[in-house]
Amino acid sequence: MTVTATRLGALTGLARYARGRYLSPLASLALFVVMFTAVVTRCDFASPTQVFLNLLVDNSYLIVLAVGMAFVLLTGGIDLSVGSVVALSTVIVATALRAGWPTPLALAAVLVVGPVLGLLMGLVIEYFDVQPFIVTLAGMFLARGLCYVISVDTLPINDPAMRAVGLNYVYLYEALFIRWTVIIALVVVVAAVYVLHVTRFGRTVYAVGGNRQSAQLMGLNASRARVGVYAISGFCAALAGLLLATQKLSGYSLNGIGLELDAIAAAVIGGVLLAGGVGFVLGSLIGVLVLGTIGTFVTAANLDSYWTRITTGVLLLIFVLVQRLVVRKPG
């Protein structure tokens, strides 16, 4: 009788856990639909479809950044350095192009620096057993300091290839359009979904976030996964920096201030559990759209910009409470 009751309790816990995995992202999706409908209706936009596409255009760099953050959060870690790495990426690419580097070489340099910084932080976290908060905080200061060492001025980007990517439209149907940065961001999302849900590395990431000891007992390489997610986050931050530089056509050492918090907020609102082991990349995408909708409403309604932060903070608190009450790991 006791064994049967124990099994029933475990099955109930697993069922609740499974429901909780999907409840938060579905709630985020429902929230986005309601908010977007309300904003479009209240502000009387001529083309709601284009408004949605503009959300993708304006937040393409944040989508990439949130994808990288999702990998880290799924292992139970955190990466506070990504905003500074974004700024460093814009400064590096602008400086390299200004110095006459070929465009592919300048882009490659940026896409190497980000993952290397992430890899170094991951190694320190894993093999020196230092808290991710402390290590990535140090990485944040390091990357931001390097920005100031390179240049404190705004550096314009006049490269024809980057200007073409940043300024040219990709028309989908008649007057509906996006930019190339959106296509790049969506490719990153698709690649991340594949890695997390199809590959052994992705399964290891979820397992480490759920219970590291159990993951190791199953023969999974927890150390490699934990270090790897920081390298992935660094790559996504570097790529997000390139997308931001392409969008602004400049590099600046003060870019990306607070962007790491936006990425964390987007991931959490999208259903990624801060404790690790639960969440989806597509949820992070939805979280970015929610934040973008808030910004669109604040701009269209001519409200002060601080309302964006207030609303984001309230939503973040609500979703954390929902995760706490609903998503409980069986143990």
Query: What global pTM score does this model have?
Result: 0.91
Scored b (16 or more CB within 10 A) or e, 154-193 reads ebebebeebeebbeeeeeeeeeebbbbbbebbbebbeebb
Give Cβ neighbours of residue 30 (< 8 Å, ≥ 6 apart): none
Q: How many helices (H) and strands (E) does the chain have?
A: 14, 4
What is the three-class DSSP state of 177? strand
**Residue 57: per-residue pLDDT:** 96
Render each residue's pLDDT in the chain as its tens digit; 331 residues: 454 544 444 444 444 444 557 888 888 899 999 999 999 888 777 788 999 999 999 999 999 999 999 999 999 999 999 999 999 999 999 999 999 999 999 999 999 999 999 999 999 999 999 999 999 999 999 999 999 999 999 999 999 999 999 999 999 988 899 999 999 999 999 999 999 999 999 999 999 999 999 999 899 999 999 999 999 999 999 999 999 999 999 999 999 999 999 999 999 999 998 889 989 999 999 999 999 999 998 888 888 888 888 998 998 888 888 777 765 544 4
Identify whether the C-beta of residue 286 lies closer than 8 Å to the C-beta of residue 25.
yes
**CA distance linking residue 4 with residue 320, whole number of Å:** 33
Identify whether the C-beta of residue 307 lies closer than 8 Å to the C-beta of residue 325.
no
Nearest to 260 by CA among 239, 281, 286, 233: 233
Integer-rounded Cα radius of gyration of the chain = 21
**Residue 328: per-residue pLDDT:** 54
**Residue 321: per-residue pLDDT:** 82
Q: Which residues sit opposite 155 in a β-bridge?
A: 251
What is the three-class DSSP state of 176? strand
Distance of CA 313 to the CA centre of its chain: 17
Nearest to 128 by CA among 2, 11, 30, 226: 226
Identify whether the C-beta of residue 79 lies closer than 8 Å to the C-beta of residue 143.
no
Distance of CA 145 to the CA centre of its chain: 23
- Give the Å distances, CA to CA, from 52 to 55, 56, 176, 226: 5, 7, 10, 35
What CATH number is given for 22-326 in this structure? 1.10.3470
Give residue limits of the domains in the chain.
22-326
**Residue 85: per-residue pLDDT:** 98
Identify whether the C-beta of residue 79 lies closer than 8 Å to the C-beta of residue 68.
yes
Nearest to 291 by CA among 258, 272, 265: 265
Residue 198 has, within 13 A of its CA and on its CB side, a CA count of 6
**CA distance linking residue 86 with residue 122, whole number of Å:** 18
The tokens describing 120, both together, are: 């170094």
Give Cβ neighbours of residue 79 (< 8 Å, ≥ 6 apart): 68, 69, 72, 118, 121, 132, 136, 139, 230, 233, 237, 260
